[in-house]
Structure 1
Amino acid sequence: MTFEGKNGNSSDSTALRAFAPTLVLLVISVLINYVDRGNLALAAPLLKIEWRMTASQLGILLSAFFWTYTALQFVMGLFVDRWGANRLMAFGFLAWSLATVLTGAAMGFATLLALRLLLGVGESVMFPASSKIMAQHLPEHARGFANGLMNASMRWGSAIGTLGGGLLMARYGWRSTFVAIGVASLLWLPAWSRWKVPEAHGGAHVDVRRPSFAAILRKRTFWGAASGHFCANYLVYFLMSWLPYYLVHERNLSMAAMSVAAGALWVVDSLSSVATGTITDLFIRRGASPTTARKWAMAVGFTLAAVSLVGCAFAGEHTYLACLIACAVGSGTANAGTFAFAQTLAGPHAAGKWVGLQNGIANMAGVIGPALTGFLVDWTGHFAPAFAVAAVITLGGAFAWCMGVRRLEPVEFGIPETPSR
């Protein structure tokens, strides 16, 4: 199912209706993806007590997911092209769901480490495969809405996982919760088998420009965008990995209270992201340049988040929550334009390679951040230095997006055009 007609014709409407069940399943899969990658952070306070783990050991476990996930981002697009997006989506989903189930039976650090690595392998399929599917089956004028739903489901996955998973762990324990979530996730597979769109063969659009990976890596603008994305991810993964532990051990919240507070912060983050995207689009429609509109949003978001993180480092019992709420607003604002920048800079013919490289580099933040935070907490005995480091890196994101990316317009690669058929 590819699109050759003009925007808005009856063929498009019919095809979009046919694609709707697949889109719903992709949105659900992203939500489950973020529930499963974040649930170990919820169990961290319990693991520390039950297994007498140090913060450094927990940091290694929390970052291990990103070792395999990040490495495979650079090559997964090639696998998707060779073996098919639908098939790899199913295999990846099965792998990460089984890793979640088996985590409930883990008996030691080494087993849990291996399962986190398997989780990263399975989840690495998600975005290359879903992007391939949408590129094949959605026209340009429908991709903004579809990708908007996918992005929103990341935050809602974190919110639902934090609230629901935390409450389940508080009542039934972490082992039963992992098993229940993993088994429930497996119900997605028969739905995917039934309602996925058929694999597209032939009729694909021919790229008029095919820059190599080296051509992209030579662009200063790419490194500005990749650096900004890295800083944005460091903030998100810092909160995703360590917020539950911080709230329980440094702010003395119960597991139930922590789940409500952390879940609410992810809701604030998601609403801020949606609002920022809507407002910047509105300014652009009214005549503002994309460079001005989106760079201002980046500058405001990263700066607000950085200042709020510093506030968290020194906040008292009655002020830390306000600082965390402000940080969530800043995080949502800063992350709203991450892929919008990449898609505009790369253009339609280089977006796949550009986004793959940028996302791979950006996810190094998941490899570094959780482990570094754990070592800092063990070394100092509290979270203030970890918040300070996160604040400096977050502020660096504002400089990367605003100074590293000069203008928000398609990058010229200087590659001769290939005649289209």
Structure 2
Amino acid sequence: MTIAAQPSRISGIRLFWVVALLALSVLLNYVDRGAIGVAAPLMIEELKFSATEFGTAVSAFFWVYAPLCLFVGWLCDRFCVYRMFAAGIALWAVATLLTGFVNGLVLLIVLRLLLGLGESIAFPGSSKIFAAEVPAHHRGSANALIGAALAFGPAVGVLTGGAILEALGWRPIFWIFGLVTLVWLMPWHLASAPLRSDSVTTPVVDPVPMRRLFAIPTLWLMGIAHFMSNYGFYFLLAWLPLYLTKTLGYSISQMTLLTTLSFTSQGIAALVAGRVSDMAVTRGADEARVRRWSMVIGQAMLGTAVAGIWYAGDAWALGAWLVVAGIGTGIVSVNLFAVAQIFAGPRAAGGWVGIQNAIGNASGIVGPIITGVIVDQLGSYGLAFAIASGVAVFGAAWWWLVVPPIRTVEV
């Protein structure tokens, strides 16, 4: 099935800058979200956290983030998404900055909750704008920028955060990252200024009630698919730096290099996958088929690579498997939201992605706690790696056999 392109209501140049800034916001989103993983080797020592306590702090972000995606998606279909982005980023930047002052678990959890509140705008909001403004033959490239940012965010965060950690300690990581995120508000204010008027704001005419979206089986199947897509990525994002330094004995600089390698591969793969998928659609390929099989391949690569990381016998093998994991995750990140935008259409994109993202990010609630308990109780990451690998491989089968035909759902 070919998905028809819709005309954009804003100029090409302004659309480019809006998409670019949205991608940059996602990059900063994952820089700030993943900072706790980079800081973990020294933070855990200073604050004397157990693996379970650290896992709980990582999970706390998703206690608010996942359910709020529902409400934020509802808001994006009814109010000015450009203003909502500014408010969300201001909140998460301040939460990041203040994390550099924590002295215990309770305050860390509170600030992780505020971070989740602010970051809940990112994917429902960007999908709302993309579904309304980006034609089908550019959908892959637009989502590729988001997918690349999703990967380069951790890469930038680990690379710069690792350097800060080694030179200044863990607290300045949060101070610097928070201040940099606040700077994003200035170009966003300029780029979105004309779009905040009623005449060109993303339309809110006849939004789809959330109760109607909840009744669509396809949305629940996509939410489960999203859960399985996220589990392995969040596992590596939160635990890889700690695993490399505390279990395998790599130095902070070696950990930085290996982790950055994985996320950089992910970003490059996302850009390539987005471009290739757009070229295929432009030449007449069935967009639905292209995106389904991209998800199957990406999930299978991620699951295989997570198992390979556990069994890697040396740094070269470990690096190779990290690259494979990055490529698989990059392919997944491009197509996951593109498929959601196809299913939802412009009218329901905000609410649809909000619900799907909420279900999918439940993996961020349960995954870190499960891993923390496993490490504390068994003294090994083996079972945690097995679970992350199994979930990803099962996700490949889910996309192949369970996700229904990819076309806009009548809502």
Normalised by the length of structure 2, the TM-score is 0.89
- Superposition pairs of residues 215-230 of structure 1, within 5 angstroms: 215-230=212-227
1:193 equivalent to 2:189? Answer yes
Q: Tell me the SS of whatever aligns to 1:411.
A: coil
| Contact preservation (8 Å) 2:76, 2:351 | no
Assess if the C-alpha contact under 8 Å between 2:374 and 2:383 holds in 1.
yes
Question: In percent, how many aligned pairs have the same letter?
Answer: 36
**Cα distance, 1:150–1:105 mapped onto 2, change above 3 Å:** same
Q: Report the number of matched residues.
A: 404
Aligned counterparts of 1:188 and 1:41: Cα–Cα separation in 2: 23
Instruction: Choose the corresponding residue for 1:110, options 103, 106, 113.
Output: 106
How far apart in 2 are the matches of 1:191 and 1:205? 19
How far 1:339 moved relative to its partner?
1.3
> What are the within-5 Å matches in structure 2 for residues 111-190 of structure 1?
111-133=107-129, 145-190=141-186
Change (3 A) 1:119 1:204: closer
What is the one-letter code of the residue matched to 2:274?
G
CA root-mean-square deviation:
2.7
Greater mean deviation of Cα atoms: 256-265 or 199-208:
199-208
Matches within 5 A, 1:221-240: 221-240=218-237
Whole-Å Cα distance in 2 between the matches of residues 227 and 187 of structure 1?
36
Q: 1:388 to 1:175 in 2, by over 3 A?
A: same
Letter in 2 for 1:316: G
Identify the residue that residue 335 of structure 2 maps to in structure 1.
337
Q: Which residue among 295, 299, 302 is the counterpart of 1:298?
A: 295
> Does the 8 Å CA contact 2:151/2:263 hold for their aligned counterparts?
yes
Q: For 1:34-89, what per-residue CA distance to the aligned partner results, in whole angstroms no more than 9, with x for missing partners?
A: 11000001111112211221110110011111111112100013444666333332
Aligned to 1:54: 50
- Among 33, 36, 42, the alignment partner of 2:38 is 42
Secondary structure in 2 aligned to 1:74?
helix
1:313 and 2:303 matched: no
Q: 2:397 aligns with which of 393, 396, 399?
A: 399
In the TM superposition, 1:205-220 aligns within 5 A as 211-220=208-217
Distance 2:80 2:184 in 1: 19
Cα deviation for residue 398 of structure 1 reads 1.1
Matched, 1:252 2:229: no
Structure 1 range deviating more: 127-136 or 224-233: 127-136
**Alignment gaps of 5+ in structure 2:** 1-5
Question: Cα deviations across residues 263-282 of structure 1 (Å, max 9, x unaligned)?
Answer: 11101112222323333444
Matched-pair contact (CA < 8 Å) for 1:26–1:130: yes
* Alignment match of 1:408 (pick from 402, 406, 409): 406
Distance across 2 between alignment mates of 1:136 and 1:171? 45
Give the stretch that moved more between structures: 246-255 or 17-26.
Answer: 17-26
Q: Which has the larger radius of gyration?
A: 1
- 1:348 aligns with 346
Do 2:80 and 2:202's aligned partners in 1 also have CA atoms closer than 8 Å?
Answer: no
d(CA) in 2 for partners of 1:73, 1:215: 17
Distance change (3 Å), C-alpha of 1:289 and 1:81: closer
CA distance in 2, matches of 1:25, 1:142: 16
Point out which structure has higher relative CO (alpha carbons under 8 A, 6+ apart). Answer: 2
Aligned equivalent of 1:89, options 77, 80, 85: 85
The aligned counterpart of 1:273 is 270
**Residue equivalent to 1:419:** none
Q: 1:416 — aligned with what?
A: none
1:342: how far off?
1.4
Answer whether contact 1:223 1:404 (CA < 8 A) is retained.
no
Name which of structure 1's ranges 187-196 and 71-80 shifts more when overlaid on structure 2.
187-196
Aligned to 2:63: 67
Query: For 2:374, which of 376, 381, 399 is the aligned residue?
Result: 376
Report the Cα offset of residue 104 of structure 1. 1.0
Under a length normalisation based on structure 1, what TM-score does the superposition of the two structures give? 0.87
Query: Is the 1:55–1:375 contact (alpha carbons within 8 Å) kept by the matching residues of 2?
Result: yes
In structure 2, the partner of 1:388 is 386
C-alpha separation in 2, matches of 1:247 and 1:188? 32
- Letter aligned with residue 61 of structure 2: F
Which one is further off, 194-203 or 394-403? 194-203
Measured in 2, the distance between the counterparts of 1:229 and 1:308 equals 19
CA shift in 2, pair 1:292/1:133, >3 Å:
closer
